[in-house]
Amino acid sequence: MVKRFSVKRWLRHPRTRRVLPSSLRDRMWIVGEAVRMRPALTAAALVMILLSTALPLASIVATGFLVGAVPAAVRDGLHSPAGRRALEGLAFLAATLVAGRLVAPVRSTIAAALKLDVDARMEQRVMQAVSAPPGIAHLEDPATLDRISMAQGIGTAQHTPGDVAAALIEKAPLWLQGLGSAVIVARFHWWLAPVLLAAWLWATDTGRRELINTAAAAARTTRAVRRAGYLRDLALQPTVARELRIYGLGDWLIERFSSEWLRAMVPIWQERWQGNRALVVSALPAVLAQSFAYALVGWAGARGEVGLGDLALYLGAIGGIGMSLGTRSAADYGLAYGTAAVPALRRLEAAPAPRPASPAAPDTDKLTAALPPHLCNGIRLEGVRFHYPGREHEVLSDLNLFIPAGHSLAIVGANGAGKTTLIKLLCRLYDPTRGRIMTDCADLRTVDPRIWRSHVSAIFQDFVQYALPARDNIGFGAIEAAGDGDRVAEAARRAGADSLIEGLPRGWDTVLSRRFAGGVDLSGGQWQRIALARALFGAHAGADVLILDDPTANLDVRAEAELYDRFLDITAGLTTILISHRFSTVRRADRICVLERGRIVEEGMHEELVAAGGRSAHMFALQASCFVEDAAATPQTRVAGGGDA
């Protein structure tokens, strides 16, 4: 059976990889992607390339014909056969010039459209590659972030693979015109055409290698470009503008940006300087060969060996070879720099997902374990240890914990105790370095992360503030049920965000950001209610594990007390894991665990922990005393202030 030809398979074949340079393979890969995405548009581009090639060559031929017909037309008059031939040649030349003028903008429009389509497809592939791993460790890896940046564009002008598609549409006619002009020159002397082609192709190849080397140097400075971009964005972000002005950081930021910018640009300038010297040297033989060709044709014309028309034809063709093959434009930069982005995309797609470090870890390529529709037994952590990639310090050390299904567990501890890291493990954003997390007798590493996360709804400390309508901000908690307005409204009511949303200018359709017309900004406490509503919507839309990572950090004392008074009602029937550093706010949980330096040092009900007189009791009394002191000081403050604060 004959296999269907595949450009992708052919480019990956070892023999092809040995014969074709990597840059040429990458360009062909981009062309293949363009053909697969937009076959009609690429077919139109091919037609424009052929027309853009034929019309200039036809203009050269028409010019030669017209020049050759002019003497006889002048001698015999325009009404003579010679005059009519001259007029026909003039009309043909005008037609080719007008057609060329019409084809050029159409070709450019198609090139621009194809560039946008290819770039959109490349962005989709970057998003898919970044979203494919089940965890988030790769997004905290500088090397991966560099690849993401390179895949999105090389150099300070951010040339993309889409630039390659556009550049090929602009450059291909020039390359073909050079070959066509060489065919015309071969009509004069067959050996002169390959001499000119060889000279100009050498100069062109030198320029191509210089651009490729410069693009590679630009790729190597991606990290410095990222740093410079970060500093630039700091100066442009409204949320940072206040501190920049208060602390007078504007000049420092500009100076640091300039420093990082130069750190990125100096290697590129050095590479470009060396390449330009080589380009000048390689252009000398081409210029000499073209000058020799001009002289040879001129000498033949002076001796009468070629007529006036042929003289114009050959001179135009010789100049056409140089103009077609020796001219550098913005398309050359797009071709070289855009091609350099493809290897980064391939490395990003080929990067394996981080695997657990435990030698006894199950084969994560075989996700065979199944979960029941709802959590039955609970979640068990057995000997869990964890340290972040690239660090030796363990955040969690030999952690053992059981969370019964349908119960509420509060995990309290000082900052840095490992509370948020534990939540990341429970959400499978990371896998344990050692040990395992079991749920209903299945190791989480053997469960498809998408299936497990359908059981989980969470609000994190650094929750996302989407610059989108309020409806979307809550509906994202369960995107498949976001169209159920009643359930979205119920989640907002449970989180105490219903009155907030009803008071917005456009209600549920109000964009929660002033960066867009008609939008509004919310306070930290208001945003926390929206985020809590999002987590509750996910829980009531099907998730049965609710994780709340310090859900009241931005609420005032009254709102916090109100929320925790309703805590049991809000989370009824759910396996709830509540993270907090406030011991006084988690009393209603079924069980409280005290986490310290990655270990559980105390565990029990609130009354039991207070009676035991350990760390939990001490911290509870200490924090409660602060509230008592604040309450006692409040009347005095009001008197001293003479009114409301």
- Going from the C-alpha of 226 to that of each of 94, 214, 257, 276, the distances in angstroms are 51, 18, 11, 27
Alpha carbon of residue 436 to chain centroid = 33
User: So what's the pLDDT on residue 8?
Assistant: 54
Q: What is the pLDDT of residues 299-314, one digit of tens each?
A: 988 888 888 888 888 8
Highest-confidence range of 12-21, 51-60, 392-401, by mean pLDDT? 51-60
User: Distance between CA atoms of 305 and 188, rounded to whole angstroms?
Assistant: 10
SS3 (DSSP) at 451: helix
Q: How many residues does the chain have?
A: 645
User: So what's the pLDDT on residue 478?
Assistant: 87
Q: What is the pLDDT of residues 239-268, one digit of tens each?
A: 788 778 877 888 888 888 888 888 888 888
Q: What is the pLDDT of residues 199-213, one digit of tens each?
A: 888 888 888 888 888
Which strand (E) or helix (H) includes residue 386? strand 378-386
Q: Are 412 and 582 in contact (CB under 8 A)?
A: yes
Report residue 398 as tokens: 């030999």
Report residue 403 as tokens: 């969370």
Give 546's DSSP letter: E
Match 């009241």 to its residue by tokens: 552
Report residue 609 as tokens: 């922990």
User: Distance between CA atoms of 29 and 26, rounded to whole angstroms?
Assistant: 5
| Percentage of the chain lying above the pLDDT 70 cut | 84
Tell me the pTM: 0.73
The contacts of residue 146 (CB under 8 Å, 6+ apart) are 222, 223, 226, 344
Average pLDDT rounded to a whole number, residues 568-591: 76
Average predicted confidence (pLDDT) for the chain? 81
What's 401-417 look like in SS3?
Answer: EEEECCCEEEEECCCCC
User: So what's the pLDDT on residue 627?
Assistant: 53
- In the chain the domains, ranked by start, together with CATH numbers, are 7-349 (1.20.1560.10), 378-618 (3.40.50.300)
106 pLDDT more than 70: yes
User: So what's the pLDDT on residue 523?
Assistant: 86
Residue type, 2: V
Average pLDDT rounded to a whole number, residues 357-386: 66
Residue 7's pLDDT band (cuts 50, 70, 90):
low
Q: Phi and psi for 254 in degrees, rounded to 5? A: -65, -40
Q: Phi and psi for 643 in degrees, rounded to 5? A: 160, -160
* Closest alpha carbon to 462 in 386, 533, 550: 550
